[in-house]
Structure 1
Amino acid sequence: MSDDLLPTLDRPDASSTSARRPGAPQPAPTGPGTTAQAPGTAQPAWLGPVLVVGIVLAALNLRPAITSLGALFEEVRTGLGMSGTVAGLITSVPALCFAVFGITAPRLSRRFGPAVVVCAGMAAVSAGLLIRPFTSNAAGFLAASALTLAGIALTNVLLPVIVKRWFPGRVGTMTGLYSMALAAGTSLAAAATVPLTDALGGSWRTGLLIWAGLALAAVLPWLPLARRTRRQARAEARAAGSAAAGPGTDAGPRVVRSRTAWALACYFGLQATGAYVTMGWLPQIFRDAGVSAGTAGVLLAVTMVMGVPLAFVIPGVAGRLRNQGPVAVTLGLFGLAGYAGLHLAPAAGAWAWALLLGVSNCAFPLAITMIGLRAKSPAGVAKLSAFAQSTGYLISLPGPLVVGALYQHSGGWDLPLTLMAALMVPQIALGVLAGRDRTIEDECGMRD
């Protein structure tokens, strides 16, 4: 099924840039690249609100599987008898799965529709989180984790497509909403997993299992959405007199030919590198500077919590700009200041550096916003999202390992922090290139 056959809930008025109320019946889109709607396809009142709830719940579940494990990793390693090599493999699996499984999302979206694939992705997340606590060895734990991460990877790629398809006039606002939910889920799991585990008896298995409930809740709104959009697409395909998955339908641009796509992929990779290094090593940087372990953990939480409000604000601001380069520059300068501060006075200005890096890490919602803006059609967004995220996560894989190796080799943080500050320079330059007002369809010389 082509996602071009799915109806739009929110499209700007022809004479105004203001968006319509989500869920309200919309006129059929017209013009190149659109599909005539079948008779009787007016949208029910429940569709818009349920879609918003589904997006928020899906986003809430994109990181707890990772950060909850991080909070209990030592207990999991001991309980399953993991070797250091296997433990290192597990820490690198998320980025690898995001790269490998994310690249399959556009093809699955074209065949089944994005709502169906997101529903299946949330089901995979739930299944993996339900199975993982009951595994008895590292291999089973790794397999269950991979199932969960595969579902996260598909949803990572397709949420920008969902936003582009149903809220084309509110890309920035809707991206901000789910980016904020993603940041909230990340912070919640990191902060609450250990206290909840202690309150529920102290078993790491229970501590990991509780997040399966949140994932199961995320499946529920996507069930009616998947069912309706699948049925809707079939009806519209019959009305148009063509098969829903006919050859050449919504083929989308060849993104590898686009300079903007490459700039966005590399920008995504460098910001992901900074985020993973921050999550993995920031507490150790503070502890080595004389900060207590408890305070170091709170400082990391401050860095992560900064993403909750800013993840909503930044996409909204970026979505109203024709060129997002200045936002990328601003975030990069915050990062440079944070790394410089950690280098010069890590303990004395610890709270300031944590805040600065928290702002800098909001390059993620900016990158997601630019993915939605740099393509004209949902099919283009699907391909660009898969390419940028998969390539970006591959780029980010060596970062935390290299930083750890430099730390061990040099015996301090001067060299690793110099590297991270140096990487901010190409990140800023790539953000400027990716933020230019152009689309991958135009660069590839292809139609919408």
Structure 2
Amino acid sequence: MRTAIILTGIVVAAFNLRPGVTGLSPLLEAMGEEIRLGGGFLAVIGMLPPLLFGLCGFAAPRLIARFSAVTITLTATAMIAVGLGVRALVSDPSAFLLLSVLALAGMGIGNVVLPPIVKAYFPDRVASVSTLHVGLLQLGTFVPPLVAVPLANALSWRGSLLVWAGTAVVAVAVWIVITVLRPAPRTTVSATAVGGRELRRLLSTPRAWALMTMTGMTSFNNFILFTWLPPLLTRAGFDSAFAGAMLALVTAIPLVLGFVLPALAVRLRSAASIVIAFCLSLAAGYLGLWLAPQAAPVLWTVLLGIGISTFPLALTLITLRSRGPEASAALSGFVQGGGYLLAATGPLLFGLLVDSGPGLGAAFALVLASVVVKLAVTVPATRPGHI
């Protein structure tokens, strides 16, 4: 009973950590017919996800220490449900942004709290349960942009957004049950370690900084592609339907690999070879998209999708490289907090460079430089042993 309810909780919570992000962008044109969406709105809504994920990454470990991982997970899912549900009903851009902040804060807290829950309840099955966690997170990234427009055609754009509020309500219901039953974890989280000592130790640990930088550079490119892949393809002459399909494809590849990489990470002494290969794939995809976008757009998209698939690997490494659930909570907060703050600059800088004098050349130089930084930290970030 304990195993089944916690596994169900991990599944429904993980799925709801991305639909509020990727299910929105395909609907912005339809929304603009009812709500005035100026350039400022579009810039802010693009930066909010990684910014909130980063800030909540640093705050979440202290919240877990004070209120328990189960209570915080219930609160996070409730924030997601309320934020997504109410924002689908408003017509004021400012209110929409404020409610998005509420929902994204819940997602940011959820990002951090699930790895220590896996560590606490399944210490002897970290690989398999991490595969489930990461796979469902990637599924929640891939499905929404694929079905957002068909749902809007059937239900209106508000109805399309409300679908993801509905899935979040399911997660709230499951975590209410878990909160009432309070199944005992196999190991416990130490409030002192999570809230202070453990986090301070990570700040002086080069390997923790390396893992945070590797994760941050992955998310940096993730959010650039989420924002800019369709516009880059339409600028190259492709129609918007094809561009949307390529966005779904670039999110589908990490979904598929997310079911494989955690098990590989456990079996391999070091995951450095995987990360290096994926970095080279990312660089090749960017070069193709820049220099010959019409030659093989599907190939470039596949290479880019492989390249950003180190994110599920990084989530697994957080769990594998920590000694216990308290260390996992602190490492998860540090890595995801700092990583997402790095990522928040990606879409903005890329967009500024695209519209500047140097144009696409400077923008692609930026993302290629991020790949070099990621390569530089790969070996220490993936080194075997606990951080």
Instruction: Determine the C-alpha separation between the residues in 2 that align with 1:245 and 1:63.
Output: 29
1:158 to 96, 110, 113: 113
3-state SS, counterpart of residue 150 of structure 2 = helix
| Gap runs ≥5 in structure 1 | 1-45, 238-243, 441-448
Instruction: Determine the C-alpha separation between the residues in 2 that align with 1:399 and 1:430.
Output: 19
Instruction: Determine the C-alpha separation between the residues in 2 that align with 1:406 and 1:247.
Output: 44
The alpha carbon displacement at 1:60 in A equals: 0.9
- Which amino acid letter does the alignment assign opposite residue 180 of structure 2? R
Question: Following superposition of structure 1 onto structure 2, how do residues 177-216 of structure 1 map, counting pairs within 5 Å?
Answer: 177-200=132-155, 202=156, 204-216=157-169
Instruction: Determine the C-alpha separation between the residues in 1 that align with 2:323 and 2:113.
Output: 15
Is 1:389 aligned to 2:342, yes or no? no
Structure 2-normalised TM-score?
A: 0.93
Q: Which moved more, 1:164-173 or 1:145-154?
A: 164-173
| Gap runs ≥5 in structure 2 | none
Report what 1:220 is aligned to.
173
The alpha carbon displacement at 1:251 in A equals: 5.8
1:119 to 74, 83, 102: 74
Is 1:432 aligned to 2:372, yes or no? no
- Which amino acid letter does the alignment assign opposite residue 320 of structure 1? R
8 Å CA contact 1:307, 1:359 repeated in 2: yes
Deviation readout 1:53-78 (Å, 9 max, x if unpaired): 21111111111111122111233344
Instruction: Determine the C-alpha separation between the residues in 1 that align with 2:271 and 2:126.
Output: 13
- Which amino acid letter does the alignment assign opposite residue 325 of structure 2? P
The alpha carbon displacement at 1:219 in A equals: 1.6
Report what 1:31 is aligned to.
none
Instruction: Determine the C-alpha separation between the residues in 1 that align with 2:352 and 2:85.
Output: 35
1:367 to 295, 307, 314: 314
Instruction: Determine the C-alpha separation between the residues in 2 that align with 1:425 and 1:245.
Output: 37
- Which amino acid letter does the alignment assign opposite residue 115 of structure 1? V
Report what 2:277 is aligned to.
330
Deviation readout 1:81-100 (Å, 9 max, x if unpaired): 23321331122111111122
Larger relative contact order (Cα-Cα within 8 Å, sequence gap ≥ 6)? 2
Of structures 1 and 2, the larger Rg is shown by 1
Deviation readout 1:1-57 (Å, 9 max, x if unpaired): xxxxxxxxxxxxxxxxxxxxxxxxxxxxxxxxxxxxxxxxxxxxx111221121111
Instruction: Determine the C-alpha separation between the residues in 2 that align with 1:185 and 1:136.
Output: 26
1:317 to 264, 270, 278: 264
- Relative distance call for 1:342 and 1:83 in structure 2 (3 A) is closer
8 Å CA contact 1:269, 1:393 repeated in 2: yes
Deviation readout 1:321-343 (Å, 9 max, x if unpaired): 23221221121111122112223
The alpha carbon displacement at 1:247 in A equals: 6.5
8 Å CA contact 1:161, 1:378 repeated in 2: yes
Instruction: Determine the C-alpha separation between the residues in 2 that align with 1:147 and 1:105.
Output: 14
3-state SS, counterpart of residue 302 of structure 2 = helix
Instruction: Determine the C-alpha separation between the residues in 2 that align with 1:435 and 1:155.
Output: 24
2:237 to 278, 290, 294: 290
8 Å CA contact 1:175, 1:365 repeated in 2: no
Instruction: Determine the C-alpha separation between the residues in 1 that align with 2:376 and 2:222.
Output: 18
8 Å CA contact 2:246, 2:298 repeated in 1: yes
Deviation readout 1:295-329 (Å, 9 max, x if unpaired): 12212211111122101101110122232212211
How many pairs are equivalent?
384
RMSD of aligned alpha carbons? 2.2
Question: Following superposition of structure 1 onto structure 2, how do residues 337-416 of structure 1 map, counting pairs within 5 Å?
Answer: 337-410=284-357, 412-416=359-363
Report what 1:63 is aligned to.
18
Instruction: Determine the C-alpha separation between the residues in 1 that align with 2:357 and 2:125.
Output: 48
- Between the aligned residues of both structures, percent identity stands at 35
- Relative distance call for 1:343 and 1:81 in structure 2 (3 A) is closer
Instruction: Determine the C-alpha separation between the residues in 2 that align with 1:250 and 1:208.
Output: 35
The alpha carbon displacement at 1:419 in A equals: 2.3
Report what 1:419 is aligned to.
366
Deviation readout 1:129-153 (Å, 9 max, x if unpaired): 1211222312221221111111111
Structure 1-normalised TM-score?
A: 0.81
